[in-house]
Amino acid sequence: MENNQLQEKLEKLLKAYAHYFDVERDVKVEGGSFPAAANYHFREENYVATRAHTIYASEQHEYVYFYLTEHLDLAALQKEINLSREAGCKRVTPHGEHMFSYVTLVILADVIDEDAKRTLKRYRYRKNFWLTLHGWMEYRIAAMETSSTTFLSNPAGREVRKNLEQNFQSKAK
């Protein structure tokens, strides 16, 4: 029954993400799987007369992985962080027009252990490509503990946490 409620929350969240992201279901990655993932790609160009004469171009990407669980402990959190980070990093292709990429893990859990909460809030991972001339990549995490309607994130994931709050906080009030 609890799992059904998590699935309903995931569906609501995916509907919100679908406005700007390409959403995939049952995503298999090397070493595991996720119930859903979302991808966002944006390219901006400035050119003279035709696209063949590009003055400036930049690309932004985001790869979001969704994880559902009734109970999140530290071992499960570390496994999902490693799995999503590795899957996302493989999709990042740095080049001269790459500005940045985000790899994001969104967790919906009924209960989150205290040590997992502490680790989630402190986790940081950022990688610069060729002294940032080929852009950079940052790892973001946001989670919702459904039993207490608590929202958590690492420092880079504040924006993702705000998205969770906007989608679910009104239900709690």
Assigned domain for 172 exists:
no
For residue 133, what are the contacts with CB-CB under 8 A and spacing of at least 6? Answer: 96
Residue 96, helix vs strand vs coil: coil
d(CA 24, CA 118): 30
Check if the beta carbon of residue 87 is closer than 8 Å to that of residue 121. Answer: no
Q: What is the pTM of this model?
A: 0.91
Question: Over 50: is that where the pLDDT of 172 sits?
Answer: no
Assigned domain for 173 exists:
no
Report the phi/psi class of residue 78: left, alpha or beta, with left for phi > 0 and alpha for psi in -120 to 50.
alpha
Domain count, the chain: 1
Residue 55: pLDDT band with limits 50, 70, 90 = confident
pLDDT for 2 = 55
Instruction: Name which residue leads in pLDDT, 53 or 83.
Output: 83
Assigned domain for 111 exists:
yes
Assigned domain for 49 exists:
yes
d(CA 18, CA 14): 6
pLDDT for 170 = 64
pLDDT for 47 = 81
Q: What residue numbers bound the domain in which 27 lies?
A: 2-167
Assigned domain for 150 exists:
yes
Assigned domain for 96 exists:
yes
Assigned domain for 125 exists:
yes
For residue 89, what are the contacts with CB-CB under 8 A and spacing of at least 6? Answer: 103, 127, 137
Assigned domain for 8 exists:
yes
Check if the beta carbon of residue 99 is closer than 8 Å to that of residue 35. Answer: no
Query: How distant is the alpha carbon of residue 96 from its chain centre?
Result: 24
Burial of 5 (0-12, 13-18, 19+ CB in 10 A): middle
- pLDDT digits 0-9 by tens, 81-106: 999 999 999 999 999 999 999 999 99
For residue 67, what are the contacts with CB-CB under 8 A and spacing of at least 6? Answer: 34, 35, 80, 84, 105, 106, 107, 108
d(CA 140, CA 100): 13
